[in-house]
Copies of this chain bind each other. A is one copy, B any other.
Amino acid sequence: MVKKKHRGLVQIFTGTGKGKTTAALGTILRASGQGLRVFIVFFMKGKYPYGEFSTLPLLPNVDVVSFGLRCFIKQSKVKPEEIEQAVLALAAAREAMLGGKYDIIVLDEVNIALWYNLIALDDIIKLIEDKPPEVELILTGRYADPKLIELADLVTEMVKLKHPYDKGIRARRGIEY
């Protein structure tokens, strides 16, 4: 286990390039290997068969929950169930963050949940403000709100220099999901 507690930061992975969720997953793989305890909540992913749902449970001290409907949503036509799921996801993250059991809390695609107005900006700001000093918070998803970027300590933008979707290649099992 890690003896010396370091200050926990707020990290954001955003941008339209590849690697936001996978960078968070890789951070978990690394942290688990150093004995840190991690909680990850997936927003808007439901039970879609992402590869990581099979392998995250193999890592020591990593707990996983996933919320959301499987189908993609339109900003103009958000179902009440989708809002309910996102609110539950944020509540789960908050409870885990305040419970004292975890060193790292990952909110995967929380930026997108906010962009779709499934959750309120103020509730995410409050989450950040209430963060215990030693806990690390990681927020992922494109279109990160400027206010969240302002509050964060470490912000990385994944910029697409080249992407095969542009050449008509679709998402591939095991690589993109």
Q: Which residues of A contact B (CB under 8 A)?
A: 2, 6-7, 9, 11, 13, 15, 17-36, 50-56, 58-60, 103-104, 136, 149, 152-164, 167, 169, 172-175, 177
Contacts and interface: CB of A to CB of B under 8 A. Distances in A.
Contacts of A60: 55
B173 A164 contact: no
What number of copies of this chain does the assembly contain? 2
Contacts of A162: 149, 152-155
A30 B51 contact: yes
Given A153-B162, A154-B162, 13 more contacts: A19-B20, A22-B26, A23-B158, A26-B27, A29-B52, A30-B52, A31-B174, A33-B53, A34-B54, A36-B174, A55-B59, A155-B161, A156-B160
Given A22-B23, A22-B26, A23-B26, A159 B156 contact: yes
